[in-house]
Amino acid sequence: MQREGYEPNARTFVAALVACVEMTLKHRGKQGEKVVKAKCLEIGKHLHSQAARRELDSELFVASSLIDMYSKCGSVGEAWKAFSGIKRHDVVSWTTMILGYAENGDGKRALELFELMQARGCSPNTQTYLAALLACTTIVSSTEKRSDAEMKLLKFECLEKAMGIHSRALQTDIFVENGLLDLYAKCGNMLDARKVFDMMKCHNVVSWSALIHGYAQDEHESQLAFGMFASMKNSGGCLPDAQVYVAVLVACSNAAGFDTGKTLHAEICKQGHESNEFVGNSLVDFYGRNGRVDKAEQVFDSMPNKDLVSWSSLLAGFSRLGDATRVFQLFSEMREAGVQANAVTFQSVLSACSHAGLVEKGKKCFKSMDLEYGVKPGIEHYQCMIDLLGRASHLEEALAMVKGMPYEANVITWTTVLGACEKWKNVEIGRAAFNSLLELDEQRGAAYALMANLYERWNVGEKQRETGRDLQS
């Protein structure tokens, strides 16, 4: 266009920036996503500089498109600069910036902007409410390195925020209703999720999927997920899609519904969803959790595209069976395929080492996490190592790891140590673990049972040793 002498205007730049966004969205979640994002960001920056030379970058539509482009390319800092350059913000620019923070994992900042927007006299629209709900969901989903108490507080705060949004967005908009439904479900508030669902004038596949997934996450309510799945099919309103099948497979895993899962697998094949990578990953996970690693591997081998989740799910299946040889074979194949291991992968590998008693291999793997792969060990990885050392009677080393890890030891940590002490009749370390456990939870019945068994086994051992000494003398 420019080579032929035509000068781009504001609409031209908006169209070009939208093309960059569409390209990133097309490759989202697929192999090569980072490369595409980087290329689109480069093109987007070039477009930005051209628009700035023509003094078009501060025009609302161009600026909003720049914010969206930078956000979708993962450069939220540049998006904020573009937002700050606007003289007067409208609902579109506010919403685009709020969504940018939410999509890039900064839900807290997104909600701050949501409040600031209203304080400055700009009323939210449907898209703004959706962006705010996504921000709440982002916060709830960010479980990494958070304690149970922190997560409960976060969920409570997000629920409070969602209820405020709910009271202000009393519209019969299915997208907002689905956003509320999804957030309530992710916060574990299935009562309000069901209320939203029942009050909706109509449901689409997203509504059904969100509710089924919410029930599926809780093993005590998994049966309700099956009931909703049956209701969905009987309603005749819409057919289950890949996400619905994923949700029901999660319910099968939590409710030990192996026969239901097998029937569901047949239905998935009949409906042509078996090639969907999310469905494939869920099937691998389902069969792995039920000890049918042969079926899990069949599904894995048939998948046209295998991502990190696919490999990690299969690894986890063999790890649960304690098949360390196969776990390390898969780990090696995964590296050869160019798939980078993450925290979940290493948890499976360390767990396999623990069950197989591979102390030195486990230590080497643990050290390599940060040094070779750039994966910071979480408390779950330290607990795998403590379990590995405890099972192998390296109790002093296990206790040293508890005291040296950069996390506060929790009930699981000390119960693992106490269980190992009970096995190896180590009263001294066992008593220390028992006392630490009571400081965290005085009502912990399992702690008293383990300590009683430890004393009983220790006393029996002492009597046997005394009998041996008497016979020798």
471 has pLDDT over 50: no
229 has pLDDT over 80: yes
What average pLDDT does this structure show over 216-227?
A: 89
Nearest to 129 by CA among 88, 91, 87, 157: 91
Residues with Cβ within 8 Å of residue 293, at least 6 apart in sequence: 287, 314, 317, 318, 321, 323, 326
170 has pLDDT over 60: no
pLDDT of residue 470: 40
What average pLDDT does this structure show over 268-297?
A: 94
Farthest-apart Cα atoms in the chain, separation = 110
For residues 296 and 313, give the distance between their C-alpha atoms in angstroms, rounded to a whole number.
9
36 close to 82: Cβ distance less than 8 angstroms? no
**Residue scoring higher pLDDT (186 or 283):** 283
pLDDT of residue 193: 94
Per DSSP, 146 falls in state: -
pLDDT of residue 469: 39
Q: Quickly state the pLDDT bin for 444 (edges 50, 70, 90).
A: low
168 has pLDDT over 90: no
Q: Which two tokens stand for residue 251?
A: 């319910």
323 close to 352: Cβ distance less than 8 angstroms? yes
**Residue scoring higher pLDDT (405 or 170):** 405
426 close to 395: Cβ distance less than 8 angstroms? yes
What average pLDDT does this structure show over 346-352?
A: 96
pLDDT of residue 150: 73
Whole-number percent of the chain with pLDDT over 90: 72
445 has pLDDT over 70: no
Whole-number percent of the chain with pLDDT over 70: 93
What average pLDDT does this structure show over 116-132?
A: 94
Nearest to 334 by CA among 320, 313, 354, 319: 313
90 close to 124: Cβ distance less than 8 angstroms? no
Q: Quickly state the pLDDT bin for 143 (edges 50, 70, 90).
A: low
**Residue scoring higher pLDDT (197 or 156):** 197
Give tens-digit pLDDT for 263-272: 999 999 999 9
pLDDT of residue 157: 83
Distances (CA, A) of 322 to 30, 346, 352, 358: 31, 14, 5, 11
Give tens-digit pLDDT for 375-418: 999 999 999 999 999 999 999 999 999 999 999 999 899 999 99
Distances (CA, A) of 453 to 10, 75, 420: 77, 57, 12
82 close to 66: Cβ distance less than 8 angstroms? yes
Mean pLDDT (the chain) is 89
Give tens-digit pLDDT for 84-100: 999 899 999 999 999 99
Q: Quickly state the pLDDT bin for 144 (edges 50, 70, 90).
A: low
pLDDT of residue 37: 92
φ and ψ at residue 318, rounded to 5 degrees:
-70, -30
For residues 392 and 468, give the distance between their C-alpha atoms in angstroms, rounded to a whole number.
26
33 has pLDDT over 80: yes
pLDDT of residue 169: 72
pLDDT of residue 234: 92
258 has pLDDT over 80: yes
Q: Quickly state the pLDDT bin for 255 (edges 50, 70, 90).
A: confident
What average pLDDT does this structure show over 251-260?
A: 85
What average pLDDT does this structure show over 291-317?
A: 95
Kindly report which listed range (2-6, 51-55, 368-372, 404-408) carries the lowest average pLDDT score: 2-6
